[in-house]
Amino acid sequence: MLHLIKYRFICTMRDRSSMFWAIAFPLMLATLFFFAFSNLGNNNLKTIPVALVKDSGNLTASTFVSFLDEMEKDDSHIIQVERLSEEDAVTQLKENKITGIFYAQETPSLMVASEGMEESILQSLLDSYNRNADMMYTVATEKPFGLVAAAAAVSDYRELVQETTIDGKEVNGFLQYFLALIAMACLYGCFLGFSTALELQANLSTLAIRRSITPTHRLKMVFVDMLVTFAVHFVNVMILLAYLKYILKVDFGRNMGGTVLVCAVGCLIGVALGIFVGSCGSGREMVKVGIMLAVSMVCCFLSGLMIAQMKNMIEQYCPIVNRLNPAALISDALYCMSIYNNPARYGRDMVTLLIMAGVLGLGAFLMVRRERYDSI
C-alpha cells in the first residue's frame, strides 16, 4: 500500500495544471481581495476646516455661531472654525485651505467649492441646525409654555446607538469574501480529484490501462487515491489559510482548531466531487471539466464569493439551497468559528458536508467498480 501512496503523491504533484487551480489561483485571488478591500473599511475622518463669516447685527447669527462653537468643542472634533472676513474666506476656499464657508446671518447658509464627503457633512450640520431652529420657532409661536422643555430636549443630545462587538471581536465587513474564498479553494480540490479519477479509467488514460490489469482491488485504489489527493490539497488550503492569517492579517477568531477542521472537511468534499464527476460515464474529458467547473463556480457564487449579500438573500427566500450548497456550508461553518459561537449550527454544517463527501466517494467507487473492458 505504501508504494501506491508514493506513486499517487508523485503523480499528483506533477499535475501542474490541477495544482495551479488548487493552490496558486486562490493565493492570487486572496492578494487581489486584500488590495481591493484593505482601505474600504477605513472611515477615519479628519477635522474639517471651515470659515465663519458673521453678521454681527443679527440675533439669529449669534445663535448659529454658538451652535458652531459647540460643534467645534465636541469630542468628535468634526469641524475647526476660523472667523474671517468674506474676502479672506473666499480666497482661502479657492486655494483649498478650507472646505466651506458658513455665513452666520438671519438665514444661515453654506458655500462650498466642490462636492464630496466633507462638503456633505457640512451641509448635514447646517440642515440639522435649521431643523432645530424651525422647531424652536414653532414651539415659541404655538406653545410658548413648552419652550423651556423643548430647549432642554434639543440640548440634551444622547447617542441612541451603542457600538459594540460580538464576543469581544471586531467584525470586518469584508471577512465574508475571504471565507467564501476559502470555500472556493476547498472545492477546487475537485481538479485534483478529477485527474485522479481519469487514472482509474482505462478508456481515458494510458496510466489507467496499466493500473487496470493489476490485481489490486478497485476499492483500495479509490481509497488510496482519495486519501493522498486529500492530503495534498489539505496542505494547499493550509498554506492559503496561513497566508491569509499571518501575511494579509485576516482575523479568523480564536478557534483556529475549528477553522482547520472545517477546511479539512471542505477539502474532502472537494476531492470527492472531482473523483465523482471524473468517474461518471465515458464522456469526453473537456465536457466533464466544464460540468465540474460550472458546479463549483455556481456553488461559490451562491455562497457570496462575488456578491456578499447573495447568501443572505438565498437564506431569506430559499434557505434549502444554503443547506445543500457545499460552498455555503463551508463558509457558514467558518463564520461560526470566526464571528460567533454556535455549536449546533457548526455541527449541522459539518455533518452535512461529511454525508455529502461520503455519498460522492461511494458513488465514485460504485461507478469505477463496474467498469469492464473487452480489450486493454
Give the whole-angstrom CA distance, residue 266 versus residue 110. Answer: 57
Judge whether residue 115 has pLDDT over 50. yes
Q: Which residue has the cell 466651506?
A: 100
Domains of the chain: 2-39+174-369 (no CATH), 48-155 (3.40.190)
DSSP H or E stretch at residue 51: strand 48-54
- The DSSP secondary-structure symbol of 20 reads I
Mean pLDDT for all residues in the chain: 81
User: What local confidence, expressed as pLDDT, does residue 375 receive?
Assistant: 47
User: What local confidence, expressed as pLDDT, does residue 159 receive?
Assistant: 46
Judge whether residue 374 has pLDDT over 60. no
* Phi and psi torsions of 271, nearest 5°: -65, -40
DSSP conformation letters of 230-259 = HHHHHHHHHHHHHIIIIIS-----S-HHHH
5-17 tens-digit pLDDT: 887 788 888 888 8
User: What local confidence, expressed as pLDDT, does residue 76 receive?
Assistant: 60
272-283 tens-digit pLDDT: 999 898 888 666
Report whether 251 contacts 172 (CB < 8 A).
yes
Query: Which range among 103-112, 184-193, 329-338 shows the weakest confidence by mean pLDDT?
Result: 103-112
Report whether 26 contacts 75 (CB < 8 A).
no
Judge whether residue 32 has pLDDT over 70. yes
Cβ-based neighbour number of residue 260 at 10 Å: 15
Give the whole-angstrom CA distance, residue 296 versus residue 305. Answer: 12
DSSP H or E stretch at residue 103: strand 100-104
Strands 100-104 and 48-54: parallel
Give the whole-angstrom CA distance, residue 66 versus residue 50. Answer: 15
54-76: b (≥16 Cβ within 10 Å) or e: beeeeeebeebbebbeebeeeee
User: What local confidence, expressed as pLDDT, does residue 151 receive?
Assistant: 56
| Distances from the Cα of 82 to the Cα of 46, 120, 354, angstroms | 16, 19, 66
What single letter denotes the amino acid at residue 346? Y
C-alpha cell at 127: 440642515
